[in-house]
Amino acid sequence: MTQTIPAVDYLVVGDDPHLVSKECTDCGALYFDRRNACAKCFGTNFGTRRLSNEGIVRAYTVVQRGSKSGPYTSVVVELQGGGIVKANLIGVTDPARIEPEMKVRLVTFEAGVDDDGTQAVAFGYEPIGA
């Protein structure tokens, strides 16, 4: 059986892939990286929060260079219930197909496999109903 690992610490892979964030227990601010203190309230207590798999595109850019596989679309997604994440919009490179507040959902994909057969899993977002 092939072992799979997430490409980033805040991605949970498996039967129900989703993102998790650190949440300040004092003010509710969300962070993907490790924190000693909250940047909003300076609190030092954090819990973990599961984030929604759906959201809306708040900003995007189509990147024409730097990718062997062609242009790709980078998006900022505001998640339902809180949280903002940057990722790639999967399958959309034509800016005419991107609408203000486009609804999207989390998808995972194989990012690569090492010499031992361990598969790295990454995430992006795809339009809902496209």
Model confidence pLDDT, tens digit, residues 15-53? 999 999 999 999 999 999 989 999 999 999 999 999 999
pLDDT score, position 1: 56
pLDDT score, position 99: 87
The tokens for 1 are: 């059986």
The pLDDT of residue 66 is above 80: no
**Dihedrals φ, ψ of 28, to 5°?**
85, 5
Q: Identify the band that residue 130 occupies on the pLDDT scale cut at 50, 70 and 90.
A: low
| Interior/surface letters 40-65, b for 16+ CB within 10 angstroms, e for the rest | eeebeebeeeebbbebbbeebeeeee
Q: How far apart are CA 82 and CA 100, in angstroms?
A: 19
Q: How many CA atoms lie within 13 A of 67 on its CB side?
A: 11
Model confidence pLDDT, tens digit, residues 69-101? 678 899 999 999 999 999 999 988 788 889 889
- Boundaries of every domain in the chain: 4-127
